[in-house]
Amino acid sequence: MVEQYLLDTNPVIDFFNSSLPIAGKNFIAGIEPTISIISYIELLSNKNIPKLEWNQLLDFVQIAVIYDLKKEIVEQTIILRQNFKIKTPDAIVAATALVHNKKLITRNISDFKNIPGLTIIDPSNL
């Protein structure tokens, strides 16, 4: 079985602004680009992104699989918010990973570390 991943917003930004170590960059380059609708929104919400990085992000979201907010994700988000001290955007990202059985790639380990069943990979520590 091939491992499947969901990218949080920060590793995508780190990938395109070259702040990841080479092992992390190679890891991300080798997986299917898959994000939640929240990451899609966050990636394109900053109007101060340098033009080259902006164009790279636009290209990325065009090829990425983007998971919408389906009922199962909303219900899982509610459960996470009820049981853990987690912000709504992070809960949506975690719920998306859980519902779709994906490992979450993020550098914000502390935001997700207490969620049972969620496997987390920090690409900056590979």
Question: For the segment 19-61, what is each residue's pLDDT rounded down to a tens digit?
Answer: 999 999 999 999 999 999 999 999 999 889 899 999 999 999 9
The identity of residue 55, as a single letter, is N
Domain boundaries, the chain: 5-125
pLDDT by residue (tens digit) across 62-77? Answer: 999 999 999 999 999 9
Dump strand ranges (E) for the chain.
Answer: 5-7, 34-36, 65-67, 103-105, 120-121
Length of the chain: 126
Q: Please name the CATH architecture into which domain 5-125 falls.
A: 3-Layer(aba) Sandwich (3.40)
Half-sphere exposure of residue 100: CA atoms within 13 angstroms, side-chain side: 26
Supply the pTM of this predicted model: 0.94
52-65 exposure pattern, b = at least 16 Cβ within 10 A, e = fewer: eebebbeebbeebe
